[in-house]
Chain A
């Protein structure tokens, strides 16, 4: 490798990233003056243009997980993850608009809705559903945000050539400043900038990948030949023969319908100015996700091609000591750093920005779940807005500290950390949200039981069995888990959550929350 070109490339990438960080922190400071009430902090005063929220939601779904995790997973274990996890998420955006979005938005003012448990609490009624939903959200937030933090740590470590832990600590420190300064308004503006950059950079990166590999067909044929057949490419043989079951778990449940239960993506609908423009959110979310996420998967395939055609690539990636998480770090810092440092810098900067705003969202959500959904709504309803905002910031700090500990000692590679978080959200929230607007038969106890079962099943299976043996004494890892349980932990949570809501609702008293009677107008309200 040309050391001088590498050093110059790293410097250029570093300068672009520093400028971007400064811009982001500047916007955070500017928006701080505009955050006055908890409503501003959490939903931007419900006056954010739909295109901005569409970009933010897509960016929050893509984030550092898709850029770092998926290509790493694809490089290591095969392209099947692309169509099992990534592509079906495109459908999640329109599905959210069709099944849930309108009701969330048009009922937001009347019921002062800010979080997902708010919506569930008003439809189903009762405190228990809020508490179960909030617990699931806190667990999911920790895993999902850790994936983002870990990606930043991996990247900073590779760029500055320092070990993972100090790099992760540095990333956490800068993120904390940004999160405490800004909030929802900062996120919306910053993410529009980030996502624009991500779209441009990903198109350029794929273009460059195309020129490196000489075409998609040639790339796949070369990899297939070098890996001795189709295992790397084929659902039938990948993941120890369980990739089709993984595909069923994710494509049919967690990625597509499960997106309905992702607060980082869906909660933003509360902030849309005009409810009639929701379609644009669905369209933009789907298309932006569909442009960027497959592009990152493509980079994983490109890196695999480079590794099978150039014998120095695989040892260089292994040499970073980061396992599958080192794939994109190598590609952006070592490959693009030499050949196209400006593009590398733009890619990294856009994704770091997206990771931050996602982390921001998750810390806020975790804090809100504890303080607003459990304490304020269930036990301390008389808090003033000032008290709520103060306690929200304290809870965010607590959640942030837990995330920081998990980031310093991560239990999984990036792609599975994010997948665990995503699946926990989907299993906890998606069944109750989907049935709330589509089935008249739901009841208070059905909702609470369904959310509780979805949350508990997914959390138990994940924490006990799905984590790798290094993190849990009974841990099986992803492939081992799939071989034992056939469907992913979140898919079991979602299926059992759906069934529990239906069965319990059929046999319990027809008690419901006030929003239920707004949604199902033909059901008479009990006097």
Chain B
């Protein structure tokens, strides 16, 4: 039931099903079974959900901390 904690995200769902297919008898298996579209979708999901908001906003936070004057009212 571990999936329940993460399954709200397509990329995670696909990853879990993929791993279930690799390590067990039931699941989607490796991306070889997918069409090219699905591989791109998987990549898009993973990057956009896991990396873009988190990495870019933590970078912005560090940047504005270094330049506090840029966050002052003009």
- When the two chains form the complex, which single residue of A83, A215, A279 contacts B61, counting CB atoms closer than 8 Å? A279
Contact B37 A98 (CB under 8 A): no
Contact A279 B35 (CB under 8 A): no
Interface string of B39-74 (1 = CB under 8 A from A): 001001100110011101110110011001011111
- Give the size range of A's interface with the partner: 35 or more
Of residues 175 to 205 in A, which have CB atoms within 8 Å of B's CB atoms? 202-203
Interface centre among B7, B16, B26, by most A CB within 10 Å? B7
| Chain A residues within an 8 Å CB radius of B21 | 217
| Chain B residues within an 8 Å CB radius of A241 | none
Q: Closest chain B residue to A298 by CB distance?
A: B10
Contact A94 B28 (CB under 8 A): no
| Chain A residues within an 8 Å CB radius of B64 | 102, 276, 278-279
Task: Answer yes or no: A290 CB below 8 A from chain B CBs.
Answer: yes
Q: Closest chain B residue to A204 by CB distance?
A: B4
Roughly how many angstroms separate A314 CA and B37 CA in the complex, as a whole number? 27
Roughly how many angstroms separate A275 CA and B13 CA in the complex, as a whole number? 36
| Chain B residues within an 8 Å CB radius of A107 | 73-74
Interface centre among B57, B68, B74, by most A CB within 10 Å? B57
Contact A235 B37 (CB under 8 A): yes
Of residues 8 to 42 in B, which have CB atoms within 8 Å of A's CB atoms? 8-10, 13-14, 16-18, 20-21, 26-29, 35, 37-38, 41
> What is the minimal beta-carbon distance from A274 to any residue of chain B, in angstroms?
8
- Give the size range of B's interface with the partner: 35 or more
The majority secondary structure among interface residues of chain B is: helix
> What is the minimal beta-carbon distance from B6 to any residue of chain A, in angstroms?
10
Interface centre among B60, B70, B72, by most A CB within 10 Å? B60
Contact A217 B18 (CB under 8 A): yes
Interface centre among A107, A215, A217, A294, by most B CB within 10 Å? A217
Contact A88 B7 (CB under 8 A): no
Contact A216 B52 (CB under 8 A): no
State whether A102 and B71 are in contact (beta carbons under 8 Å apart), knowing that A87-B45, A215-B26 are contacts in the complex: yes
| Chain B residues within an 8 Å CB radius of A291 | 8-9
Interface string of A94-132 (1 = CB under 8 A from B): 100110001000111110000000000000000000000
| Chain A residues within an 8 Å CB radius of B10 | 82, 87, 216, 294, 297-298
Task: Answer yes or no: A478 CB below 8 A from chain B CBs.
Answer: no
Contact segment of A60-68, A280-288, A398-406 = A280-288
Of residues 289 to 333 in A, which have CB atoms within 8 Å of B's CB atoms? 290-291, 294-295, 297-298
Q: Closest chain B residue to A518 by CB distance?
A: B74
State whether A286 and B17 are in contact (beta carbons under 8 Å apart), knowing that A236-B37, A294-B9 are contacts in the complex: no
State whether A216 and B57 are in contact (beta carbons under 8 Å apart), knowing that A207-B7, A230-B35, A290-B49 are contacts in the complex: no
> What is the minimal beta-carbon distance from A135 to any residue of chain B, in angstroms?
29
10 contacts between A and B (CB under 8 A): A87-B10, A88-B48, A90-B48, A90-B49, A90-B53, A94-B53, A220-B28, A275-B73, A276-B71, A518-B74
Q: What 9 A-B pairs have minimum CB-CB distances, sorted nearest first?
A: A217-B28, A286-B53, A276-B71, A217-B17, A283-B57, A279-B61, A94-B56, A275-B71, A216-B13
Residues of A within 8 A of B (CB): 80, 82-83, 87-88, 90-91, 93-94, 97-98, 102, 106-110, 202-203, 206-207, 210, 215-218, 220-221, 230, 233-236, 251, 274-276, 278-280, 282-283, 285-287, 290-291, 294-295, 297-298, 518
Residues of B within 8 A of A (CB): 3-4, 7-10, 13-14, 16-18, 20-21, 26-29, 35, 37-38, 41, 44-45, 48-49, 52-54, 56-58, 60-61, 64-65, 68, 70-74
